[in-house]
Structures are given as structure tokens and as C-alpha cells.
Amino acid sequence: MQNTKHLTLALAAFLVAVAPLAFAADAPKIVGTWDAVISSPNGDLSAVIVVKEAGGVLEAEVEIDGVERVVTDEKLEGDVFRMKVQYEGGVYDGEAKVVGEALEGTWQGGGYSGTLKAKRRP
């Protein structure tokens, strides 16, 4: 009986110690800061995309040509990240696939579409 108690306590201590590591390993690959180039009909736009995760919820901040934009509906499905971004009076849908330390994606809205490419900041 004494050995069972010790084994149970040791197992519980082990699980408490490694649980944060397991969650960190499972953190979405999209989390981080990304330097992006967005192709548009008027030329390329520079952007910074910051994706954070808190309590299992993703939140993105997007700055396009130095101006912070409103972002909604952030979600990660497999390795594809989707969000809606308000820009110049319209709402644009964006999606990008995480490919290692890069994002490759597209956007569309207002009758326009283009590509998005980004690299993760170190």
C-alpha cells in the first residue's frame, strides 16, 4: 500500500512537471510575429502580423503600411490560418498556410484578390 501511494505521488508530480511542456509543444505554429508582403492591384503593401494565443484562443494584430487594422474571426484549421481584416472601409478575408517559418496565402474582398507571403521574425 505504501509503495502504491509513493508511485501515485511520483506519477502526479511527473504529470504536473511535464504538462506545461506538452502544451508548449502543441502551441499553434501560427503564433509569432510575421513580416509580410501583400500583393494588391496598386502594388505591394508591407505588413506585420502578430498572432498570440491565450487560453486556447488566437488573436491577431495586423499593421498594413504602418497603420493598425481591425482583425476578427481568427482561426487555425490544421495548418491554415484564417482571419478578416478591415482595410480602407472594406472587410477582406485572408488565409495563409504555415509552411515551416513562412506563410503563403491569399486574400480577397471588394472585388479584388491577391497573395500574401510572410516570414517569421526570429
CATH number for 81: 2.40.128.120
Domain span at residue 105 reads 29-120
**DSSP assignment letter at 78:** T
* 1 within domain boundaries: no
Residues in the chain, pLDDT under 50 = 4-25
User: Residue 52 falls within a domain, yes or no?
Assistant: yes
Could you tell me if residue 10 is inside a domain?
Answer: no
88 assigned to some structural domain:
yes
- Give, for 20, the enclosing helix (H) or strand (E): helix 2-25
Q: Is residue 109 part of a domain?
A: yes
Q: What pLDDT is recorded for position 118?
A: 98
pLDDT of residue 10: 35
Please report whether residue 41 resides in a domain: yes
Residue 21 belongs to a domain: no
pLDDT confidence of residue 6: 39
Number of domains in the chain: 1
pLDDT at position 64, please? Answer: 97
The pTM of the full predicted model, rounded to 2 decimals, is 0.77
> Of 112, 32, 27, 38, nearest to 69 (Cα)?
38
pLDDT at residue 106, rounded to an integer: 98
